[in-house]
Amino acid sequence: MKFSLEWLKYFLETEATTAQIAEKLNAIGIEVEGIEDPAQKLEGFRVAEVLTAARHPDADKLQVLTVNTGDGEPLQVVCGAPNARAGMKGVLGLPGAVVPANGMQLRKSAIRGVESNGMMCSVRELELGEQHDGIIELPADAPVGTSFADYSESSPVFDVAITPNRPDCMGVYGIARDLAAAGLGIFKPVEAEPIDGDLPCPVEIRTDDPEGCPAFYGRVVRGIRNGASPDWMQRRLIAAGQRPISAVVDITNYLMLAFGRPAHAYDLAKLSGPVIARRARDGEQVLALNEKTYTLDSSMTVIADDNGVHDIAGIMGGEDSSVTEGTTDLLLEIAYFNPERIGVTGRRLGLATDARTRFERGVDPAFLDDGLAILTSLIQRICGGEASEVVRAGSAPSEPKVIAFDPSLTARLGGVDVSEAEQRAILERLDFTVDPGSGPGQAWKVTCPLRRHDIEGPADLVEEVVRIHGLGNVQSVALPRMDGVARPTATPMQALERRVRRAAASRGLNEAVTWSFLPTSEAQHFAADGEALWVLDNPISEDMKAMRPSLIPGLLAAAKRNADRGAAGARLFEVGRRYLRGKDGVSDERPTLAVLLAGEKTPRGWASGKAQAFDAFDAKAEAEALLAEAGAPVGNLMVMDGAGGQFHPGQSGTLRLGPKNVLARFGALHPATLDAFDVDGPVVAVEVYLDAIPAKRGKQGFAKPDYAPPALQSVTRDFAFLVPADLAAGDLLRSVKGADKANIVDARVFDVFEGQGVPDGKKSLAIEITLQPGEKSFKDEELKAISDAVVAAAAKLDAELRG
């Protein structure tokens, strides 16, 4: 939010400098993000008088001006503005000045052979508005030679960040009140004089949606002249980043930025019948002021008449009833809308406006009459016109919150001693009403202003006292610590997550942190069959509505963003939570590690030829390596199908401890999944379910035992088996390793062959087993016994030793 120092001083009497104001704003919790001084941009621009104006000898649309700058001899300037003439006063940019609008540095130059010493400037070129059809015309009494920055009373502009809990500071008026409470000046409250209209209101105004619009006030003003707003108003609006449009529109924007109170003006001639706050009908449409058409539903509050919707309540007005230069009669509207309803409507429509920001945070419900009176007064003062009576439909919340407050709580929670007298004074300066009770030691009864929606309990009152007293007065005190070595605080799961995170990074994967929320369609795609999603009632946006049932969609989106920007490949991982519906509808958070490999595994080259893509075996290798690092018994894992419909059925699988305990799923993603996410394949992925990995028995957490290398050299033996063609190699390995668990420490497939010499329906699997002797080397008879046991174990799977 932006505002000028001059605007602030309209509500705050202070001699504080810009730096002192910025320091105090930061101290009371209103963070200053930047300060801009327009005077610096206007350096080198002066008030000048045109003495003569003659046609350029070589250009019909140019004039040669003689300009008095109040400093020595007049200067010659070439100008193309149609309004340039002798006797007028304007703004001259001298050589060396930089034009704010385009950054061009002015210099002495020749234009069509005629020397020009600078430039006469337009409003747009100095970023003072949008007018650009002529140069600036100043009043006849403008002092020639004066710096234009001084003449225009340019004022420093503050850019502040207002936290969501402080809607009362979404206007300059509220910020001035806070600064005055902090001792930086005297607050100048605006006394809104009620305007009693003599005319009966010709329009019926009512609210048929008391939940969405509890209060809807309005009045008609006839006979206005809607021209340009006055310079002082335009200057303040431009400082706040608003473009002046017309007097009526500027006045409504001024009310919003000054007092944090959005309002709206309708062209009365474009309305038909009663003006009603009601629920929209499903499928009803409105053409908004941003020239976009929005389709509404019955959850949204609108302002409508007999012709249809004219306003998305509290968010944006409609084009069909908008005010123009020819408008003569107005309907002024000021209302109180339900903040939750405004937020939901804005997210569903994807509309973010200044009005929505204020209404969904909560405006002052007590400011309806005052706001309408100020609005009417400004309209009549600037545009003229005659006001009707005020029509009040419904009523805003009017019951103030009363909180029992113990002043000693400030020292306990805030860590600073503030006297009771000062605490009371601070609260009263902030418009809280304090009843200290009948004696010492009793809790105070503090009545909150209606505008302070953020005050919910005594702790919030402590915050108010401490921030105004000064956060710098809170002493930094170290927390007490027990003697001796600190005990570890990380849980076993936290330790596991740290270890697998380091392991994934060491394998060349890049960590990603994605949103825990997904569009409903993407979340549904990765939900298990029949599994209900967790859908938020009040999401950040419609694209972040469902809690993720898998981490893969977020990584897919990240990979797509990288690919769209020219990345040849992506190797991503994330450690986070999946969100499932547990028993009885209770939220179930599952710690998970996900890996996604997309694009090129190896680039094309003179040795490798074409670029190679990732495949399901790469995904399996990542899954097994990360499970091993997590302490899972990788050697006992079973490879089974059932990775889910999101994976390619022939290029995916699961790793399990027993038939039911799934530790991970891996493989190539299904082409339909890639199409749904608009990602080019192939893409492989892994999900490791960290909570399914069993802990080591007798151990706290997953710590690995100390490793001691064996004293004797290992022995390898090779076997080639003829097995059924549909037998999984993993099943044969598991059976062979179980033949002699004491001596066989590893087994791996090193060859698969089908073809000549192998019977139909069979394949040849060659296996290398590793034997590790213990206290003494193996004897020949011991090796034979182990071999026989291996062959016998393989025979149980219909495998026979190949001759």
Please write the tens of the pLDDT for every residue from 10-41. 999 999 999 999 999 999 999 999 998 888 88
Neighbouring C-beta atoms of residue 89, cutoff 10 Å? 20
Does residue 330 share a domain with residue 239?
Answer: yes
- Tokens representing residue 316 in the block: 């944006």
- Tokens representing residue 77 in the block: 């300037």
* 454 in a known ligand binding site: yes
The reply to whether 760 falls in a domain is: yes
Does residue 52 share a domain with residue 6?
Answer: no
Report the CATH number that the domain containing residue 56 is assigned in CATH.
2.40.50.140
The reply to whether 196 falls in a domain is: no
Report the CATH number that the domain containing residue 460 is assigned in CATH.
3.30.56.10
| Burial state string for 57-82 with b = 16 or more CB within 10 A and e = fewer than 16 | eeeeebbbbbbbbeeeebbbbbbebe
The reply to whether 645 falls in a domain is: yes
Final residue belonging to a domain, choices 338, 365, 394: 394
Q: Judge contact between 418 and 424, C-beta under 8 A.
A: no
More confident: 439 or 57? 57
Q: Judge contact between 598 and 614, C-beta under 8 A.
A: yes
Confidence of residue 665 (pLDDT cuts 50, 70, 90): very high
Q: Give me the mean pLDDT over the 421-445 stretch.
A: 89
Locate the DSSP E strands across 423-533.
433-435, 444-447, 510-511, 517-518
Burial class (CB in 10 A: 0-12, 13-18, 19+), 577: middle
Tell me: the pLDDT tens digits for 363-411? Answer: 999 999 999 999 999 999 999 999 999 999 999 999 999 999 999 999 9
Tell me: the pLDDT tens digits for 609-638? Answer: 888 899 999 999 999 999 999 999 988 888
Per DSSP bridges, beta strands 264-267 and 215-222 are unpaired
Confidence of residue 262 (pLDDT cuts 50, 70, 90): very high
Q: Give me the mean pLDDT over the 176-182 stretch.
A: 95
**Given this model, what pLDDT does residue 701 score?**
44
Task: Name 618's Cβ contacts closer than 8 Å, sequence gap at least 6.
Answer: 597, 601, 684
Q: Which domain range does residue 649 map to?
A: 492-692
Closest CA to 219 of 241, 249, 192, 197: 197
- Tokens representing residue 711 in the block: 């004293």
The reply to whether 703 falls in a domain is: no
What angle (nearest 5°) sits at the alpha carbon of residue 351, between those of residues 347 and 352? 95
Percent of the chain with pLDDT over 90: 75
Does residue 325 share a domain with residue 241?
Answer: yes
Tokens 């006297």 — which residue? 419
The residues that bridge with 330 in the sheet, in sequence order, are: 221, 267
Does residue 757 share a domain with residue 640?
Answer: no
- Tokens representing residue 622 in the block: 């990542």
* 615 in a known ligand binding site: no
Tell me: the pLDDT tens digits for 309-338? Answer: 999 999 999 999 999 999 999 999 999 999
Does residue 273 share a domain with residue 370?
Answer: yes
**Given this model, what pLDDT does residue 702 score?**
45
Tokens 């490793």 — which residue? 707
* 31 in a known ligand binding site: no
Does residue 644 share a domain with residue 525?
Answer: yes
What angle (nearest 5°) sits at the alpha carbon of residue 663, between those of residues 662 and 669? 85
Locate the DSSP E strands across 128-204.
157-161, 186-187
Tokens 């706290």 — which residue? 700
Q: Give me the mean pLDDT over the 341-361 stretch.
A: 93
More confident: 57 or 609? 57
Say how many CA atoms lie within 13 Å of 533 toward its Cβ: 22
Does residue 231 share a domain with residue 180?
Answer: no
Return phi, psi of residue 130, to 5°: -105, -5
* 460 in a known ligand binding site: yes
Q: Give me the mean pLDDT over the 3-7 stretch.
A: 94
| Cα gap 14→234, rounded to integer Å | 23
Does residue 360 share a domain with residue 238?
Answer: yes
Does residue 726 share a domain with residue 675?
Answer: no
Instruction: Write down the mean pLDDT value for the chain.
Output: 91
The reply to whether 699 falls in a domain is: no
**Given this model, what pLDDT does residue 85 score?**
93
More confident: 471 or 249? 249
The reply to whether 560 falls in a domain is: yes
Confidence of residue 421 (pLDDT cuts 50, 70, 90): very high
Report the CATH number that the domain containing residue 572 is assigned in CATH.
3.30.930.10
Does residue 645 share a domain with residue 725?
Answer: no
**Given this model, what pLDDT does residue 329 score?**
95
Which secondary-structure segment (H or E) carries 495?
helix 492-506
Per DSSP bridges, beta strands 510-511 and 569-581 are parallel
**Given this model, what pLDDT does residue 791 score?**
94
Final residue belonging to a domain, choices 394, 426, 460: 394
Helix pair 420-429, 172-181: axis angle to 10 deg? 160
The reply to whether 483 falls in a domain is: no
Which secondary-structure segment (H or E) carries 295?
strand 293-295
Confidence check: pLDDT of 584 > 80: no
Q: Give me the mean pLDDT over the 564-573 stretch.
A: 92
Q: Give me the mean pLDDT over the 59-77 stretch.
A: 91
Q: What is the DSSP letter of 318?
A: B
Which secondary-structure segment (H or E) carries 617?
helix 616-629
- Tokens representing residue 491 in the block: 């849980």
**Given this model, what pLDDT does residue 245 score?**
92
Confidence of residue 570 (pLDDT cuts 50, 70, 90): very high
**Given this model, what pLDDT does residue 168 score?**
94
Question: Looking at the 3D structure of the chain, how many domains does it have?
Answer: 6
| Cα gap 398→447, rounded to integer Å | 12
Confidence check: pLDDT of 147 > 60: yes
| Burial state string for 435-461 with b = 16 or more CB within 10 A and e = fewer than 16 | eeeeeeeebbebebbbbbbbbeebeeb
Does residue 371 share a domain with residue 278?
Answer: yes
Which secondary-structure segment (H or E) carries 510?
strand 510-511
Confidence check: pLDDT of 708 > 80: no
Q: Judge contact between 541 and 347, C-beta under 8 A.
A: yes
Does residue 306 share a domain with residue 255?
Answer: yes
Q: Judge contact between 566 and 660, C-beta under 8 A.
A: no
The residues that bridge with 36 in the sheet, in sequence order, are: 157
The reply to whether 247 falls in a domain is: yes
Confidence check: pLDDT of 114 > 70: yes
Confidence check: pLDDT of 706 > 70: no
Confidence of residue 477 (pLDDT cuts 50, 70, 90): confident
Final residue belonging to a domain, choices 427, 442, 472: 472
